[in-house]
Structure 1
Amino acid sequence: MKKVLSLAAAGLIAAGTAKAGTITVANSDIEMSGGVTAGYFYTTNIGNNNNDYFTVSTFAVDLTSKINSMIGFTASFGQTKQPDLLAPLPNPGFGVEYSWVSIRPIEGLTIDAGLLLTNIGYELYHTYDNKNYMFGLVWWAQPVTYPGARVTYSVADGIDVYAEYTQDTRDSFAVGSLGEINGISYAISYFDYTASKNLIDVVLGTSVEGIDFGVNFDYQWLDDTAKTPGNDDSAYGIALYASAKVDVFEIPVRIEYVNDGTSGIYGVAGDDAWSFTITPTYRPSNNTFVRAEFAYVNTDQKGFTDDKGNPKDSRTSIGVEAGFMF
């Protein structure tokens, strides 16, 4: 299952982006942002598919109405590939990626309805908003965009609480809180897929001596109707992030571990898996980058295959990507 992340959680990591411009249209002002990224990548143990490929990873345009006292909107369209460590060759179509209308009936209260981004998780929807190009194991098992409605209330400066009803492949609901306390950004969420599974997710982020740190912890368990006799009914995963920056150079690192047992929640082969990703990045300006990446994932059973059909317990990905944000 592909995964996306809410713009509400974007403050949890620092991504180099340009200031949004303003488009004057017939009836209102609109802020525009987005980006284009492209690169070359090589991946081992993906069966009889081509091991290397050139790709336009992302072309996306985000439009947001300037905030007024009552009604606004957010919309994104384009084509965003979200290659993850388990399935590195997605091929999505061009179209609306997410979009919702926001109503603000009273100060501090916002109601969003449409195709929403989830508030769960550390990694964001577009590749250029993340420190790493490949999406991680924890990301893979989290919710994605879904049609629904969300109510958010600001209980204090920098502290929001929310509740939502959505249809992420089936009826679901979520509650949680987003904000920042004493220099630590956080997102705490509970997500319930009706007659499927439940998810508790915690995201923390901070910066110490110029180094960005983050952690994303998941605990998931199956509903009674989704359990398989003899199999595990719960799983957990943790992803650790660190990124050191010196002038125009940055070195983000991600380390993950997931314990899936026999539940199948994280989709790994066997009981557990771990991964390591490092992405040296050069940013000649605030809105451009060139980055290389090395990513390695290992499972305790052989869930990958080489080009001859032989089972393997690991996969390695390397590549180079350039990006421009506007």
Structure 2
Amino acid sequence: MTSAAPSSSDDDHEDVIVGSGLSVVMGVIRELLGRDFPDDAVETEIDGLEVVSLDLAHLLPLGATSDADALEELCDAVADAADAAWGEARRFEADAAHLSEEGPLDLRQLPTRVIHSLGAERAIWWPVEDRAVMLVNNSHADPDRHVAAVVVTLQQHLVGLPPDYLLWHGRAVAGEPTPWSDQGLRFLSGGEEPEVIDQSYLTDADRADPDIMANVEAMAATAELITWVAEDDDSRAIGYWHGPDDAEFEESPIVGLDTEGQFELLAGRTLSEALCGHFASFADDEDAEFARLADLCRAQGVAVAARLDDLATPPTPIRPADHRSERYERLRRGR
């Protein structure tokens, strides 16, 4: 392997720092963003750099050395390049609370464990579609050994998904019922996209029609601002609307997208409330059905509004339907 250049050290460990240029490092990161995660750990080499791929992350070591300044210089260069490519970095605190075994699984366990294993307490990261690029540098925490690495993982491991979603998704994965199983609700697997946003139906004639393609692109641009989590038996997709401001999950309304391409915000401040209200709307007695579904949620320790009329929707600067319409008009004018 030619990924690192040795430097002198009185330590028992060999000092290594990536010797390839910044463009090579960034090229490898981009390559990892497009790679699937393997079922079993795999060590590979990309453009001379050693990479370890795990079931939920790719790891690119940048160095382990006693030369803190050299490693810091490399990390600063990678951070500057990442800022230029993906916007200003975000911070992630590897809080021990993420490792708690009480309650639903916290997906932030993965980055927290990686950061701790490298002797650090925090990292910076950049969102890239549904993935994240995380830069970990133990920042002089150990006076004799300074370690840094780039980790590519799913973005959801860094932002933390709401507890009620994690509970219902976990039950679905385990083959256990959720309150909406009888209504045909299916929770999506990690990285799975709902059927309704698939574009394989487009014909050559469709692709040659500027109005159709403007609508397709506007739909896709709006869908990119949503974290999809489920779909019902009418192929309606359901997810969290983050919007152009990239709202956190707790501040994101729940949105549905039907097969006619219509976005609709669902009433409810949580996924559980929105699903109870959504499926109750199909019943002859909506209030009674909402009460029944809400009781099933509460039996699993999930709080839900007392009545259907109590449901409220978190505010959002722009509704997804309006975002799609505005994007469509801009695209039409620009053609």
TM-score (norm 2): 0.24
- Looking at CA atoms only, which structure, 1 or 2, has the larger radius of gyration? 2
Q: TM-score, normalised by structure 1?
A: 0.25
Judging by fraction of residues, say which structure has more helix: 2
